């Protein structure tokens, strides 16, 4: 191979890659018959790598990428990408913020409403003809007027707060610091926020700094009527503590789009009557995935042409 290589580690739109074919030969990591052989023969030819925040740079090929100049993360989270390593090697990193924020906020609200009003259970109740045999569906809880706690008031957190406020809710948040010009109630710790909230929505980034930020104490503080919603990263919530609290009744319910070892989900979570689950799809709309792919490609084209990156991380 004489042309520079673009290594695509995670699934990515083939249509979106078309503008890059003029500049690179594209290699799909998941289609390589022997990743070891590829790294040994062609690792130094890779100039750009497309990945996501869960996969990062495969450890198998990391040391072989001697001339890698840009890591393009197709997503807002980049917790699996070692920024220290990238900085030391002079490798730029980009992500795709903003374009997915509104869809994630929409989905967070969908999960909140689904768990408060028991939408999946009500759907099954009709489909299984229990309505006709057993009569009225049990009463659910109203969402409007509740106390909504947001863990991480970033781009997505702000949009969730705006949507939740439309339901006449009280909004509280926690983060590294109290934000200027924000009227919502600030709580210095997740524990304090959980003790106040009826529903705790996790929107903080993943990574070592937020690992098990929501653990047993926070879940117990949320309480037997409390609801946990996680559309961030599975690593932010202590999954073992979550299972224990759901099984013991110390936590009311959980709506989860992310898990600690995706795509593997513990049977105790799957079979719990107190959970509503989805397969990491908060940003999974056609429009948003197209916009994410376009932003990745635009960043790469900026890099090729020696121009400023649109959404740099480092």
Residue numbers annotated as active site: 233, 262, 280
Other beta carbons less than 10 A from residue 41's beta carbon: 12
Please state, in angstroms and rounded to a whole number, the distance separating the CA atoms of residues 234 and 213.
Answer: 11
Residue 277, token pair as written in the block: 């689950």
Q: Yes or no: say if 161 and 148 are a contact pair by the CB < 8 Å rule.
A: yes
Residue 80: asked if its preceding bond is cis (omega within 30°), the reply is no
Segment holding 244, helix H or strand E: helix 239-248
Residues whose CB falls within 8 Å of the CB of residue 157, separated by 6 or more in sequence, listed in order: 150, 151, 173, 175, 201, 203
CB-neighbour burial class of residue 73 (10 A; exposed 0-12, middle 13-18, buried 19+): buried
Residue recorded with tokens 């948003």: 288
- Bin 19: left if φ > 0, else alpha if -120 < ψ < 50, else beta: alpha
**Closest by alpha carbon to 258, among 279, 228, 243, 285?**
279
Residue recorded with tokens 């409007």: 144
Residue recorded with tokens 């990945």: 51
* Strands across the sheet containing 253-256: 185-186, 170-174, 147-151, 199-202, 227-230, 253-256, 275-277
Question: In a 3-state reduction of DSSP, which class is residue 276?
Answer: strand
Please state, in angstroms and rounded to a whole number, the distance separating the CA atoms of residues 33 and 49.
Answer: 18
């Amino acid at each position: 191979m004489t042309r520079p290589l673009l290594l695509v580690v995670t699934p990515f739109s083939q249509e979106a890659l078309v503008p890059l074919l003029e500049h690179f030969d594209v290699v799909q990591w998941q289609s390589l018959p022997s990743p070891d052989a590829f790294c040994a023969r062609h690792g130094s030819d890779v100039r750009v790598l497309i990945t996501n925040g869960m996969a990062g740079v495969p450890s198998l090929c990391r040391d072989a990428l001697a001339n890698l100049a840009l890591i393009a993360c197709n997503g807002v989270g980049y917790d699996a990408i070692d920024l220290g390593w990238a900085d030391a090697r002079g490798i730029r990193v980009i992500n795709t913020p903003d374009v997915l924020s509104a869809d994630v906020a929409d989905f967070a609200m969908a999960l909140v409403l689904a768990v408060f009003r028991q939408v999946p259970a009500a759907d099954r109740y009709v489909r299984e003809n229990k309505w006709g045999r057993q009569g009225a569906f049990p009463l659910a809880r109203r969402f409007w007027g509740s106390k909504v706690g947001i863990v991480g008031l970033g781009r997505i957190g702000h949009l969730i707060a705006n949507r939740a406020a439309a339901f006449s809710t009280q909004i509280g948040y926690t983060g590294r610091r109290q934000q200027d010009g924000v009227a919502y109630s600030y709580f210095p710790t997740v524990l304090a926020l959980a003790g106040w909230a009826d529903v705790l929505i996790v929107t903080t980034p993943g990574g070592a700094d937020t690992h098990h930020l929501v653990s047993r104490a926070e879940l117990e503080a949320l309480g037997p009527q409390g609801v946990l919603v996680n559309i961030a990263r599975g690593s932010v919530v202590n999954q073992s503590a979550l299972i224990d609290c759901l099984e013991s009744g110390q936590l009311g319910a959980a709506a989860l789009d992310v898990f600690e070892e995706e795509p593997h989900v513990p049977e105790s979570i799957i079979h719990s009557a107190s959970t509503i689950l989805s397969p990491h799809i908060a940003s999974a709309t056609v429009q948003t995935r197209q916009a994410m792919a376009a932003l990745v490609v635009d960043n790469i084209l900026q890099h090729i042409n020696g121009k400023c990156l649109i959404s740099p991380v480092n």
